[in-house]
Amino acid sequence: MSLRFTEKDYQELCARRDNLARVAQSEAPKRPKRGRARVETAAPVVGQQKRACPLDQIFAILRLSPEREHKFHPTRKFRFDYAFLDSKLAIEYEGIFSAKSRHTTVTGYMRDAEKYNEAMLLGWRVLRITADMIPDSRAIDYITRAVTRGGNGQTD
């Protein structure tokens, strides 16, 4: 899959990004700002089916098909959440808001730092996306800019 876009492709991606942002803002649930209620809404219920990653919907709208769970390191078991192999672009969804997340522990954070350093040394670019970047379309903007040439938003 080639990641080179024409100006028309880029304008279409931007229009889809803006449309997704409007939908996300109108459908976003209101979260409590403090206290136990916020923790309970963020934590998954035991036995509840695992929800799909919000980035799957973004990729579908942008008509992008990254490889999921790509093992990028020759000797370690490191995997990227999403990877565009031909451009060595990886996208990691940092699930820091869920109850069972390795990102919420010191050890998990340190292993993630090691993983990102190894990726950089192997020539990968890594975008780190968090849940708060999705409703206001920052995630879509970062992804759109990264898949265009040079990641600077320019198409050619």
Q: Would residue 46 count as lying in a domain?
A: no
Residue 6 pLDDT more than 80? no
Mean pLDDT within 56-78: 92
SS (H, E, C) 80-135: EEEEECCCCEEEEEECCCCCCCHHHCHHHHHHHHHHHHHHHHCCCEEEEEEHHHCC
Name the nearest CA neighbour of 3 among 109, 89, 61: 89
* Lowest-confidence segment of 25-29, 71-75, 89-93, 151-155 by average pLDDT: 151-155
Sheet with 89-94, side-by-side order of all strands: 67-71, 79-84, 89-94, 125-130
Between CA 128 and CA 116 the distance in angstroms is 10
Is residue 8 within 8 Å of residue 151, measured between CB atoms?
no
Mean pLDDT within 137-148: 91
The whole-number pLDDT of residue 32 equals 54
Find the domain containing 69 and state its range: 7-41+52-151
* pLDDT band for position 74 (cuts 50, 70, 90): very high
* Lowest-confidence segment of 13-27, 29-43, 54-68 by average pLDDT: 29-43
pLDDT tens for residues 84-138? Answer: 998 999 999 987 655 556 666 788 889 999 999 999 999 999 999 988 898 888 9
Mean pLDDT within 147-154: 61
One-letter amino acid at 1 equals M
CATH number at residue 127: 3.40.960.10
Q: Would residue 81 count as lying in a domain?
A: yes
Q: Would residue 113 count as lying in a domain?
A: yes
Q: Would residue 94 count as lying in a domain?
A: yes
Q: At what angle do helices 7-27 and 54-61 cross, to 10 degrees?
A: 140
pLDDT tens for residues 28-54? Answer: 555 555 554 444 444 443 444 455 688
User: Which residues make Cβ contacts (< 8 Å) with residue 84, sequence separation at least 6?
Assistant: 1, 3, 64, 66, 67, 90, 147
The whole-number pLDDT of residue 49 equals 45
Q: How many domains does the chain have?
A: 1
The whole-number pLDDT of residue 103 equals 61
pTM: 0.63
